[in-house]
Amino acid sequence: MNYIVPYAFILQHLYPVRPQIRKLYGCYALYYQKRLTFFLRDKQTHPEFNGVFVATQPQFFDELEEALHTSHMEFDLDGNDFSWIFLSEDLEDFEEKVKAACEMIKNGDERIGH
């Protein structure tokens, strides 16, 4: 199924990785090698939560948060504390931070995904 996903630049930065895209809760989930890597949200309701959520595991949260962005926001989207790094679309360097996460995925960084 073809989707028009928000923040389409992500797909360019992930190339040649071709993630599977699934619509989820009115947003989009990107999977790579059967692991959820990104959750993309761009909705009119609660725009303060628009951006890219980077999936991680609790044991990698602090390290990955330091590498990507300290959001000072905790999200429990899947029943696990400290499993999402939030990159707000309002960040000045939003695309650069997302690009860094894409590079981590392309390099096989096990800290991203669940």
Distance CA(38)–CA(52), nearest Å, equals 7
Position 88 scores a pLDDT of: 93
Q: Where are the chain's structural domains?
A: 9-106
Q: Tell me: the pLDDT tens digits for 9-40? A: 999 999 999 999 999 888 999 999 999 999 99
CATH class of domain segment(s) 9-106: alpha beta
Q: Tell me: the pLDDT tens digits for 93-105? A: 999 999 999 999 9
Strand blocks (E) in 12-56: 20-24, 27-32, 35-41, 51-55
pLDDT of 114 > 90? The answer is no
Q: Tell me: the pLDDT tens digits for 37-88? A: 999 999 999 999 999 999 999 899 889 989 998 765 655 555 566 688 999 9
pTM for the model stands at 0.89
- Cβ distance 98 to 52 under 8 Å? yes
